[in-house]
Amino acid sequence: AKLLQFKAQLGGDEGKHVFVLKTAKGTRDYNPKQMAIREKVFNIIISCFKRHGAETIDTPVFELKETLTGKYGEDSKLIYDLKDQGGELLSLRYDLTVPFARYLAMNKITNIKRYHIAKVYRRDNPAMTRGRYREFYQCDFDIAGQYDAMIPDAECLKIVYEILNELDLGDFHIKVNDRRILDGMFAVCGVPDEKFRTICSTVDKLDKMAWEDVKKEMVNEKGLSEDVANRIGEYVSMQGGQDLAEQLLQDPKLSQNKQACAGLTDMKLLFSYLELFQVTDKVVFDLSLARGLDYYTGVIYEAILSQTIPAPAEQNGADEAAVSVGSVAGGGRYDGLVGMFDPKGRKVPCVGVSIGIERIFSIMEQKAETSSEKVRTTETQVLVASAQKNLLEERLKLTSELWNTGIKAEVLYKKNPKLLSQLQHCEETGIPLVAILGEQELKDGVVKLRNVASREEVRLISDQNH
């Protein structure tokens, strides 16, 4: 909606080439105000990652096409390919997890704790007012290595908790489940093996669809019997904590399934660590959480903000009146992915989390718009000004000296700017101080320094002529 999409007729005749001045579909520019907010959000996230001892890496924006092939299941159709211009076939990265796994296998790294903040690309249907873009940032934190069960997994959840707390976005909760529990559940409900993944995708829609509709999809589209679907329905309505894990370990059917038992035992252990990390007040063991991606093998999680975003003014359509922000972070364990890249299939167990920063930006931007505090887009401390004419040289010289001592300073690029326009520049951009040069001050060897807001003035002895 913010895109200015006017058309400039370059040719004379109608129907001739029309040049559209816009960014590509589903993408946006960040203006200075948005960048200031983005910097603030990144600082909070990066501080948290560093507090947890993470290193950082970077990978190219495109990968060999075959590196991405077979990693995303049905979502593969959303990958951006580059044109074949001779040479290799390339695709834009779809997430940061697959490039990370490729990096580990290529460099034979068996343990690392790293974060990676970068843009990823999906040819999805954009919904930009809800913060859904085709080019968007991911902030990933992952722990790779053979470690004792659930300790790194618990740290990932602790990190989500810390970041969402510090960003101060209101109440949130983190759903947790395990792929092995899901698979075990499908098995004991009577889902045929080959349908696990596709039924998993259907269960994943429970956050947007009612159970009745999910059930219909299972029966009518995926060919499950009513009975089987009903049995799944009972399980996926369950929510709890450590107690639920214990209860399900006693479940006559689930307790017979090896996969489910392994998942439930780990879930109990996870909650005991979360207790030590003091984060159990926000974490819910939820059997309906499925997550779409194919590569997860163990624990999975997703953080959801309770808050709804009011619809932006431009938007019309009643059903858009207030939308749930939904998931702002998600992740899980993927122990098989690195092995897919290793020529000998050597596995490196991994667990990680990805913060979905665009939705967070949307909320922060709306907060900033309604706040009385003005967002500064520069850090300039002082403007070097003059009240009289013909003092450009003196202004430039003083500004240069301020720069040389590390002071953030600006000067207007005019020979003889009016004092009023110099003061206006300070007020518009939030520069707190103005150094005003005049003939008399130069003679006396002083600089007049004025506080823009309070108009208080002090005279400082100038270094200029020393």
Annotated binding site for L-histidine: 95-97, 122, 138, 142, 291, 295-296
Q: State which residue, 57 or 323, has the beta carbon closest to a copy of itself.
A: 57
Which residues, numbered 35-74, are part of the site for a copy of itself (CB under 8 A)? Answer: 35, 38, 50-64, 66
Site for a copy of itself in 108-147 (CB under 8 A): 108, 112, 114, 119, 121, 123, 135, 143, 145, 147
The pair of structure tokens assigned to 128 is 């930009």
Alpha-carbon distance of 251 to 269, in angstroms, equals 18
> Could you identify the residue written with the tokens 């790294």?
109
Of 349, 295, 302, 300, which Cα lies nearest the Cα of 330? 302
- Minimum distance from residue 14 beta carbon to a copy of itself (Å): 15
CA-based R_g, the chain, Å: 29
Is 338 strand, coil or helix?
A: helix
Identity (one letter) of the amino acid at 235? Y
Is there a contact between 247 and 240 (Cβ–Cβ < 8 Å)?
yes
Q: Is 240 in the site for a copy of itself (CB under 8 A)?
A: no
11, 43, 74, 88: residue in contact with a copy of itself (rule CB under 8 A): 88
Q: How far is the CB of 57 from a copy of itself (least distance, A)?
A: 6
Q: What are the tokens at 398? A: 């003083």
Closest to a copy of itself by CB, 20 or 318: 20
Task: State the minimum distance, in angstroms, from the CB of residue 454 to a copy of itself.
Answer: 22
Residue among 95, 140, 162, 302 that touches a copy of itself (CB under 8 A): 162
Binding of a copy of itself at residue 76 (CB under 8 A)? no
Touching a copy of itself, residues 342-381 (CB under 8 A): 342-343, 377-380
Residues within window 247-266 making contact with a copy of itself, judged by CB under 8 A: none
**Cβ-based nearer residue to a copy of itself, 24 or 318:** 24
Please say which residue, 409 or 435, places its beta carbon nearer to a copy of itself.
409
Q: Among 105, 128, 203, 264, which residue interacts with a copy of itself (rule: CB under 8 A)? A: 105
Nearer of residues 322 and 396 to a copy of itself, judged by Cβ: 396
Which residues contact residue 4 at a Cβ distance below 8 angstroms, ignoring those fewer than 6 apart? 21, 22
**Least gap, CB of 327 to a copy of itself (angstroms):** 23
Number of residues that bind a copy of itself (CB under 8 A): 96
Between 100 and 235, CB nearer to a copy of itself: 100
- Helix axis angle, 179-189 relative to 258-276, nearest 10°? 150
What is the helix (H) or strand (E) element at residue 112, kind and residue range?
Answer: strand 112-121
Q: Are 254 and 184 in contact (CB under 8 A)?
A: yes
Q: Give kind and range of the element (H or E) at residue 67.
A: helix 65-68
User: Contact region for a copy of itself (CB under 8 A) — 15-23, 216-224, 241-249, 302-310?
Assistant: 15-23
CA 439 to CA 176: how far, in whole Å? 71
- 463 lines the binding site for a copy of itself (CB under 8 A): no
10 Å Cβ neighbour count for 94?
22
- How many CB atoms sit inside 10 A of residue 304's CB? 21
